[in-house]
Amino acid sequence: MSAITFDVASTQLANIRLDRPILNNNNDVGGRVRICKFDYTATGAVSSGSQIELLEFGPTTVFVGGAVTEISLSNSATADLGYTATKTPVDDNKDVFLDGVTAATEFSPAMVTTSEKTTLFATTGVGSLASGDKLIGYVLYVDNT
C-alpha cells in the first residue's frame, strides 16, 4: 500500500476550508434526501393526452430520482412523467423523467433543480385510461433552501 497526496479538492471542500467558509447548497453537502409518494387511480375515463397532477413541491427542489412502482393502464395507454411551474403550467418538460411508460420503472433525472413552486405531472398517451387504472410511485428530492 502506497501513501497518496491529494493535489486538488472539489468546490464543496474548498468552500468549507476557506478562512471565511462559504455555505454549500443542501444538494451538494449535508442535504437530506426526502421521499414523496404519488398514488393516482382513475375514477372514470381519462382521454389520451390528459395531464394528471401528481405532486407539488416548493420553489427550490432538486429532484434526484424516483420510480413508478405500480402501473395498470387500459387500452394500450402509456404515461409520461415530467414537471412544470405550478403557477404557469406548460408542457415543455412533460416527459423529462419518463417517456411512454407502460411498466414499473425507475428514473434518475440528473439533479433537475427548480426555481419556483413546481408540480410533478403525468401525461397519458396512445389510449384512454379506464376507471380503476393506476399510476403509483415516488420521487426522491432535496429541499435546497
Tens of each residue's pLDDT in the chain, 145 residues: 788 777 877 887 888 788 887 776 666 666 788 899 999 999 999 999 999 999 999 988 889 899 999 999 999 999 999 999 999 998 888 999 999 999 999 998 767 888 899 999 999 999 899 999 999 999 999 887 7
What is the tally of structural domains in the chain? 1
Residue 46 is classified by DSSP as B
**Could you give the CA distance from residue 38 to residue 69 in angstroms, rounded to a whole number?**
10
- pTM comes to 0.79
Q: Is residue 14 in some structural domain?
A: no
Q: Residue 54 sits in which domain range?
A: 32-143
**Could you give the CA distance from residue 62 to residue 118 in angstroms, rounded to a whole number?**
11
Q: Is residue 71 in some structural domain?
A: yes
Q: Is residue 46 in some structural domain?
A: yes
Determine the pLDDT at residue 84.
Answer: 92
Q: Is residue 2 in some structural domain?
A: no
Q: Is residue 10 in some structural domain?
A: no
Q: Is residue 58 in some structural domain?
A: yes
6: number of Cβ within 10 Å: 6
Distances (CA, A) of 124 to 42, 68, 77, 78, 135: 12, 14, 7, 6, 11
Determine the pLDDT at residue 50.
Answer: 93
Q: Is residue 90 in some structural domain?
A: yes
Task: Say which CATH number the domain at 111 has.
Answer: 2.60.120
Supply the DSSP string of 5-26, one letter for each residue: ------HHHHHHHSSSPPPPPT
